[in-house]
A and B are shown apart, each in its own frame.
Chain A
């Protein structure tokens, strides 16, 4: 089985409890004995952000990790890309139930990591794309190019978006422009900070039934996030 390590927490003396996103079994939790120890050739804890061929043993309770070999080169994320990756992890662990296979989500997460690793890619595009795909994998996807009445989305028109009714023309405080919907559909960056903030709030609203509405701590992993106009609440291009 292939997997990505999402989270590791201390477990008993020197051990770790690991949460994985795997290709064939979705979210899997396992134990790693001695995972916190550091030996001459490095740490025992498997690296994050790299696809690993995972082997386990044991019956009953959590399986025990016996092997984790990278199938690609290691990937190191920093700064806002790292914060965005933490956000994806929060989303996944909140949205999935244990051992529920989601091979498509596995591939989308993998692609997101590659995008976050690329300096030209705005972090907000990667995050919106992952949210859109997550909704699809959860069976709550929308047709972002077409309104519920069958007509194509017009960039200059205003629309309301709901999980039940889909995308319908309309105004109001929560309405968004066709331009914004198109950008989400096509993984394009939004030039206006206000649009970026609206896109973020829209996705948050659509995801809430699946991930809850508790705040995401990963959104606070940057000091300026709260006390500067450059933070995500001001809709900076680079921020999740």
Chain B
């Protein structure tokens, strides 16, 4: 089948989305062009603006427009708690559970030697610098229950303990091999409430 170049280009572009194959991309393209041109314009604008304006927060690495994200800027949040998570998806999972009022730090990955990711690649010196800032009393590890998450937790535990900070982990309920973004909010909020001292 031969499509006009712009139509084909739109279909190809939509396929970069997760779970979107050729058929779905065609349906989406037709929907945007035929039924919702205003929505399409809005989408194009939002993507452009997000790409242009969003960077990582200097303090916690969450996506944000400015230097500092709204959570880091919010003086109502508890400075004593720092929750360390692997990915933006994990951060969203915990934040939308509503059970946590402290600060965050996003690792943007996890230690995985076989994928070529070590402490330098994760820029863990930035986390060390964050831990050196005053006010933090407890580091809550919310890394995934995979061996890579476990290795990451071990490393962060060592960083935090050497600074005299308390380290806790999310409680039971996060299954082995599980990644936080796939876990529902009520399980997560229970896991947060029942967090326990890290043992390694």
**Chain A interfacial positions (CB closer than 8 Å to B):** 6-9, 13, 19, 36-38, 41-49, 74, 76-79, 82-83, 85-87, 89-90, 93, 216-218, 220-224
Contacts and interface: CB of A to CB of B under 8 A. Distances in A.
A86 to B, nearest CB: 5
A119 to B, nearest CB: 12
Nearest to B120: A220
Contact of B154 (A8, A218, A221): A221
Contacts of B154: 78-79, 82-83, 221-222
Contact of B114 (A42, A93, A224): A93
Given A9-B115, A43-B177, A48-B147, 5 more contacts: A43-B145, A78-B200, A89-B113, A217-B113, A223-B159
Given A78-B200, A221-B155, A223-B159, A86 B114 contact: yes
Contacts of B2: none
B114 to A, nearest CB: 5
Interface of B: 18-19, 111, 113-120, 124, 145-147, 150-151, 154-155, 158-159, 162, 175-179, 182-183, 199-200
Contacts of A6: 114
A39 to B, nearest CB: 9
A43 B178 CA distance: 5
**Interface SS of chain B:** loop
B168 to A, nearest CB: 16
Nearest to B147: A48
B119 A223 contact: yes
Given A42-B176, A82-B151, A216 B182 contact: no
A90 B182 contact: no
B113 A38 contact: no
A42 B175 contact: yes
Contact of A38 (B119, B147, B182): B182
A28 to B, nearest CB: 15
B147 A82 contact: yes
18 contacts: A6-B114, A38-B175, A38-B177, A42-B178, A45-B177, A49-B147, A74-B176, A76-B150, A77-B147, A86-B151, A217-B113, A217-B118, A220-B120, A221-B119, A221-B154, A223-B119, A223-B155, A224-B158
A86 B113 contact: yes
Contacts of A8: 146
B175 A43 contact: yes
A19 B114 CA distance: 11
Nearest to B175: A42
B179 A38 contact: yes
